[in-house]
């Protein structure tokens, strides 16, 4: 891990003098920030979504992070999926570098909650700063990282430029360049090439992502295909907190072991409707069938509850269920963070969302470790290598429409 050797506290600033492209990017970022401020204000008032995170996103971190210590390792994971993947790194980082503090930043509220509640070995968790020079400079002064680790596709020009200036080593871990994002990166290749020059190592999931990254301007000597870290994140001790007996999970959620449990995981708008149509047919054949819907975004919880109710099913949010009795409803909307992985153990079949709509899919590995039948849609470009591996081994089913999803869920 020679990457952690710092040649100096600060590199001469003129080696990283801002090019016109960086200035243009910074102006665009500032304009975007001003433009979306009304949206953030609405989200704060309506959902209380950004109230606690705003100052941290401006680089003002809480004193509880023990910022007086000398140096640290900073891991950035956007949301839940990246946080779950990053947990595989924590034990070895803690063992190899016991004197360094270990921080994690997230972009989303759900990722923040999961990191705070479920990850062991972190010295602190905070929200990722806006990528404006004065903000990232303030954050770097406070966190004082020797190493900055980005999960998957988190490439931020001003932060990486500042890390390079300050002698902070940077690694992209579990990197991927999807077919969807590749054309966008190509459109800004002159800037992207400069940004990639500030990254010390690229650890990519597969050959295709590696090739695309090199075509975008990365130094081939810095690019390595390491495979997906998501497999590693499912090995003990990372997965141990959710490895409980089926009976214990059934008791925890107060569900009878006779029930046929269908789980729709990480669903997005447009995916719940075909799941509900399929569930209606399943209920005709299996009266004790039970559906758990886990929407990807918390702000949709109420919307999904109304949708289920309109479809004619009895429904409750997870947090509204009685603590001492079995749920007397057909459908539960999972409105908690960190419980989905445990529920996979009692599933009869799992549909993984984000794959019927053009988002790119979500992680299929967690239900797979429990040997559950997995169904996903045609749009799995964000997990292309994993999906192809499972399909080649007949370990998952891919559907291409809502109607096909209905038929497949019924059959399984």
- pTM assigned to the model: 0.72
| Residue 244 pLDDT grade (very low, low, confident, very high; cuts 50, 70, 90) | low
Dist CA 83 CA 106 (whole Å):
8
pLDDT digits (tens, 9 = 90+) for 13-27: 344 455 777 778 888
- Which has more pLDDT, 60 or 42? 60
DSSP-derived secondary structure letter, 16:
G
Quick check: is 82 catalytic? yes
| Residue 402 pLDDT grade (very low, low, confident, very high; cuts 50, 70, 90) | confident
pLDDT at position 232 is 64
* Region 225-239 average pLDDT: 65
Decide: 376 and 351 in contact? Cβ < 8 Å: yes
pLDDT at position 231 is 66
pLDDT at position 65 is 80
DSSP-derived secondary structure letter, 397:
E
For 88-144, give the DSSP string: TTHHHHHHH-TTSEEEEEESSHHHHHHHHHH--S-SEEEEPPPS-HHHHHHHHHHH-
Would you tell me how many other CB atoms lie within 10 Å of the CB of residue 393? 8
Backbone torsion region of residue 68, taken as left when φ is above 0, otherwise alpha when ψ lies between -120 and 50, otherwise beta: alpha
Q: Which residues contact 4 (CB under 8 A, 6 or more apart)?
A: 97, 146, 147, 169
pLDDT at position 246 is 67
Dist CA 310 CA 384 (whole Å):
35
- The CATH superfamily holding the domain 243-411 is Glycogen Phosphorylase B; (3.40.50.2000)
pLDDT at position 30 is 85
Backbone φ and ψ for 33, nearest 5 degrees, come out as -60, -45
Average pLDDT over the chain reads 85
- Strands (DSSP E) contained in 279-403 are 290-295, 315-317, 331-333, 349-352, 374-376, 397-398
pLDDT above 80 for 50: no
pLDDT above 80 for 12: no
pLDDT at position 113 is 87
* Region 388-410 average pLDDT: 90
Q: Give Dmax (Cα) for the chain.
A: 71
* Region 159-185 average pLDDT: 93
pLDDT at position 374 is 95
- Which has more pLDDT, 338 or 271? 271
pLDDT above 80 for 327: no
* Region 49-63 average pLDDT: 83
pLDDT above 80 for 250: no
Dist CA 30 CA 35 (whole Å):
9
Decide: 313 and 276 in contact? Cβ < 8 Å: yes
pLDDT at position 9 is 42
pLDDT at position 234 is 57
| Residue 410 pLDDT grade (very low, low, confident, very high; cuts 50, 70, 90) | confident
DSSP-derived secondary structure letter, 17:
P
The yes-or-no answer to whether 21-233 and 243-411 have a common fold is yes
CATH number of 21-233: 3.40.50.11720
pLDDT digits (tens, 9 = 90+) for 187-211: 988 889 999 999 999 999 889 999 9
Which one, of 294, 291, 336, lies nearest residue 312 by Cα? 291
Beta bridge partners of 315: 331
pLDDT above 90 for 268: yes
User: Catalytic residue among 82, 271, 272, 406, which?
Assistant: 82
Decide: 205 and 173 in contact? Cβ < 8 Å: no
SS3 category, 351: strand
Q: How is the chain split into domains, by residue range?
A: 21-233, 243-411
| Residue 384 pLDDT grade (very low, low, confident, very high; cuts 50, 70, 90) | confident
- Tell me the helices (H) and strands (E) count for the chain, helix number first: 18, 14
Q: Which residues contact 242 (CB under 8 A, 6 or more apart)?
A: 341, 342, 344, 345
* Region 160-170 average pLDDT: 96
| Residue 370 pLDDT grade (very low, low, confident, very high; cuts 50, 70, 90) | confident
pLDDT at position 311 is 95
Decide: 195 and 163 in contact? Cβ < 8 Å: no
| Residue 68 pLDDT grade (very low, low, confident, very high; cuts 50, 70, 90) | confident
- Which has more pLDDT, 357 or 244? 357
Would you tell me how many other CB atoms lie within 10 Å of the CB of residue 120? 11
DSSP-derived secondary structure letter, 388:
H
pLDDT at position 160 is 96
């Amino acid at each position: 891990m020679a990457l952690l050797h710092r040649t100096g506290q600060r590199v001469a600033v003129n080696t990283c003098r801002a090019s016109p492209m960086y200035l243009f990017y910074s102006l665009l970022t500032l304009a975007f920030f001003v433009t979306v401020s009304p949206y953030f204000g609405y989200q704060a008032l309506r959902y209380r979504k950004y109230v606690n995170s705003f100052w941290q996103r401006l680089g003002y971190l809480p004193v509880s992070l023990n910022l007086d210590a000398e140096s640290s390792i900073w891991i950035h994971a956007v949301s839940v999926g990246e946080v779950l993947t990053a947990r595989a790194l924590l034990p070895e980082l803690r063992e190899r570098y016991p004197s360094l503090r270990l921080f994690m930043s997230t972009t989303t509220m759900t990722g923040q909650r999961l990191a705070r509640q479920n990850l062991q070995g972190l010295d602190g968790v905070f929200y990722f700063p806006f990528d404006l020079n004065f903000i990232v400079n303030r954050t770097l002064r406070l966190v004082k990282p020797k190493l900055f680790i980005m999960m998957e596709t988190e490439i931020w020009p001003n932060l990486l430029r500042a890390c390079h200036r300050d002698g902070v080593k940077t690694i992209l871990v579990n990197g991927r360049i999807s077919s969807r994002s590749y054309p966008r990166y190509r459109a800004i290749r002159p800037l992207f090439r400069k940004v990639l020059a500030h990254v010390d190592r690229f650890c990519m999931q597969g050959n295709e992502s590696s090739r695309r990254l090199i075509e975008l301007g990365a130094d081939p000597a810095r690019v390595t295909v390491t495979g997906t870290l998501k497999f590693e994140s499912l090995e003990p001790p990372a997965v141990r907190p959710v490895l409980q007996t089926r009976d214990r999970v059934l008791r925890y959620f107060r569900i009878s072991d006779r029930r046929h449990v269908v789980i729709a995981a990480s669903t997005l708008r447009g995916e719940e409707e075909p799941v509900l149509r399929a569930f209606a047919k399943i209920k005709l054949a299996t009266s004790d069938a039970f559906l758990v819907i886990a929407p990807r975004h918390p702000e949709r919880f109420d919307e999904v509850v109304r949708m289920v109710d309109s479809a004619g099913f009895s429904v409750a949010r997870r947090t509204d269920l009685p603590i001492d009795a079995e749920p007397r409803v057909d459908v539960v909307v999972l409105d908690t963070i960190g419980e989905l992985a445990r529920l996979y153990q009692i599933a009869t079949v799992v549909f993984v969302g984000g794959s019927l709509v053009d988002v790119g899919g979500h992680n299929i590995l967690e239900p797979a470790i429990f040997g559950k039948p997995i169904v996903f849609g045609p749009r799995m470009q964000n997990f292309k290598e994993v999906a192809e591996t499972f399909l080649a081994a007949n370990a998952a089913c891919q559907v291409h429409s809502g109607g096909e999803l209905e038929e497949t869920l019924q059959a399984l």
